[in-house]
């Protein structure tokens, strides 16, 4: 069956359109097309080498492709023990299963490995994710690192010219020795490429074994006081201002389109109002200390769990 569509210069590649709709990354969209999950104007397609226009009818898994939403960006404090993927063949917990309810369909800007914690950017716009991942964008990823071993600042300074490990070239790395603590050292490390396990591999060449890795910043966005496992949305005007005209244009970001799904109050730093007491029941007393001794025991256990090494407290993924 022939596909009737405008394949001229006015259209865009279908995988790109699917990504911008927040349905999947471009790579995922291409895989879905190859699997026969996508049809255009009533005909199933098998190749992403197709341009489409807004007038074309695109259906994925039997559901019409939704209209493009406004470009949105979220800051997420990823806990350790979660995989940065929508599904894991090994059955491990993923960040997308752990996210709060009420979020749109999101993809991650790059990845953090299972034992790395800290700031992960999430967006509903595949075009923006792709641009922010590019080394050419030049955004610095900054990490707090705890590692077993000893190192001198001059050895760290030499990383500014880059390093080659097992035939892989890593670009300039900014590293500062913050302090020594017992058998460990604390470092601040900045990279711009984000290659697979880059920080761990580079520090291993200096005789350091990383035992804690926390991303605290990605470009102009910082982890700050965002709680472990929490999500915060960047307001549209702030996002437009922070990205700047060049990145917004390269990503073809849309700051005008409507938001299809209401945002969860928790994403804006609000808390849910306290539930009303049952009919006829007296309101709770303000002095919780006398009424909730179990809370005090929980707080004592939490204090004992706190990491005393100077970094944020380690986290454990919630049991499912």
CATH (domain of 27): 3.10.290.10
In a domain? residue 204: yes
In a domain? residue 52: yes
Known catalytic membership, residue 246: no
Cα separation, 142 vs 189, in Å, equals: 6
3-state secondary structure of 107: strand
Strand-pair partners of 121:
75
Of the residues 113, 157, 265, 307, which is catalytic?
A: 113
Looking at the fold, whether 35 and 125 belong to one and the same domain comes out as no
Looking at the fold, whether 56 and 82 belong to one and the same domain comes out as no
Range of the domain at 190: 73-233
98: Cα separation from own chain's centroid: 12
User: Hey, what are 13's tokens?
Assistant: 């590649």
In a domain? residue 277: no
Instruction: Return the half-sphere exposure (C-beta side, CA atoms, 13 A cut-off) of residue 138.
Output: 3
CATH at residue 151? 3.30.2350.10
Cα separation, 39 vs 57, in Å, equals: 8
Looking at the fold, whether 174 and 42 belong to one and the same domain comes out as no
Cα separation, 288 vs 299, in Å, equals: 13
Looking at the fold, whether 193 and 111 belong to one and the same domain comes out as yes
In a domain? residue 307: no
> CA angle, 249 as apex, 48 and 103 as ends, to 5°?
70
> Which of 233, 258, 280 finishes a domain?
233
In a domain? residue 292: no
> Which of 47, 64, 81 finishes a domain?
64
> Which of 212, 233, 254 finishes a domain?
233
Cα separation, 16 vs 185, in Å, equals: 44
Looking at the fold, whether 86 and 209 belong to one and the same domain comes out as yes
Q: What is the pTM of this model?
A: 0.71
Residue 25: predicted pLDDT: 75
268: Cα separation from own chain's centroid: 17
Write out the chain's pLDDT in tens, 320 residues: 344 444 444 678 898 888 777 677 788 889 999 999 999 999 999 999 999 988 899 999 999 987 778 999 999 999 999 999 888 888 899 999 999 888 988 999 999 999 999 999 999 988 899 899 988 888 999 999 999 999 999 999 999 999 999 999 999 999 999 999 999 999 999 999 888 899 999 999 999 999 999 999 999 999 999 999 999 999 999 999 999 999 999 998 999 988 865 444 444 433 333 343 333 444 444 443 443 444 444 444 444 444 444 555 444 445 44
In a domain? residue 244: no
Cα separation, 238 vs 75, in Å, equals: 13
Residue 260: predicted pLDDT: 66
Looking at the fold, whether 26 and 163 belong to one and the same domain comes out as no
Other Cβ atoms within 10 Å of 126 Cβ, number? 25
Pairing of strands 209-218, 116-123: parallel
User: Which residue is associated with the tokens 């209209």?
Assistant: 67
The backbone torsions φ and ψ at residue 188, rounded to the nearest 5 degrees and listed phi first, read -115, 125
In a domain? residue 26: yes
Q: What is the CA radius of gyration of the chain?
A: 23
Q: Cβ(143)–Cβ(214) under 8 Å?
A: yes
In a domain? residue 48: yes
Cα separation, 234 vs 251, in Å, equals: 17
Looking at the fold, whether 93 and 53 belong to one and the same domain comes out as no
Residue 259: predicted pLDDT: 82
For the chain, the domain total comes to 2
Cα separation, 146 vs 150, in Å, equals: 11
Cα separation, 19 vs 157, in Å, equals: 40
Looking at the fold, whether 84 and 226 belong to one and the same domain comes out as yes
Cα separation, 227 vs 242, in Å, equals: 22
Looking at the fold, whether 194 and 147 belong to one and the same domain comes out as yes
Cα separation, 208 vs 205, in Å, equals: 7
Looking at the fold, whether 93 and 227 belong to one and the same domain comes out as yes
Residue 261: predicted pLDDT: 55
3-state secondary structure of 169: strand
Looking at the fold, whether 94 and 174 belong to one and the same domain comes out as yes
Looking at the fold, whether 87 and 217 belong to one and the same domain comes out as yes
């Amino acid at each position: 069956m022939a596909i009737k569509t405008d394949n001229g210069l006015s259209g865009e590649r279908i995988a790109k359109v699917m990504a911008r709709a927040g349905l999947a990354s471009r790579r995922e969209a291409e895989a879905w097309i190859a699997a026969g999950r996508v049809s255009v104007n009533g005909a199933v397609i098998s190749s992403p080498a197709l341009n489409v226009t807004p007038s074309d009818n695109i259906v994925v898994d039997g559901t019409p492709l939704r209209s493009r939403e406004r470009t949105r960006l979220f800051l997420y404090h990823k806990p350790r023990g979660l995989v940065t993927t929508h599904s894991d063949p090994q059955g491990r917990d993923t960040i997308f299963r752990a996210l709060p309810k009420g979020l749109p369909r999101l993809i991650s800007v790059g990845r953090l490995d299972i034992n790395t914690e800290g700031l992960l950017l999430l967006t509903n716009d595949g075009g923006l994710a792709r641009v922010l991942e590019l080394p050419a964008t030049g955004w610095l990823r900054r990490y707090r690192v705890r590692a077993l071993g000893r190192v001198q600042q001059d050895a760290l300074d030499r990383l500014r010219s880059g390093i080659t490990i097992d035939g892989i070239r890593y670009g300039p790395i900014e590293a500062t020795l913050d302090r020594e603590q017992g058998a460990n050292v604390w470092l601040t490390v900045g990279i711009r490429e984000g290659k697979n396990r880059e920080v761990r591999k580079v520090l291993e060449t200096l005789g350091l074994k990383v035992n804690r890795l926390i991303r605290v910043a990605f470009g102009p966005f910082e982890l700050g006081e965002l709680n472990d496992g929490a999500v915060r949305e960047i307001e549209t005007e702030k996002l437009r201002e922070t990205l700047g005209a060049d990145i917004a244009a390269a990503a073809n970001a849309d700051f005008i389109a409507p938001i299809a799904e209401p945002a969860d109050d928790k994403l804006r730093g609000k808390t849910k109002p306290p539930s009303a007491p049952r009919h006829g029941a007296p309101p709770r007393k303000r002095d919780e200390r006398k009424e909730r001794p179990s809370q005090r025991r929980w707080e004592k256990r939490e204090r004992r769990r706190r990491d005393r090494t100077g970094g944020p407290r380690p986290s454990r993924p919630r049991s499912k």
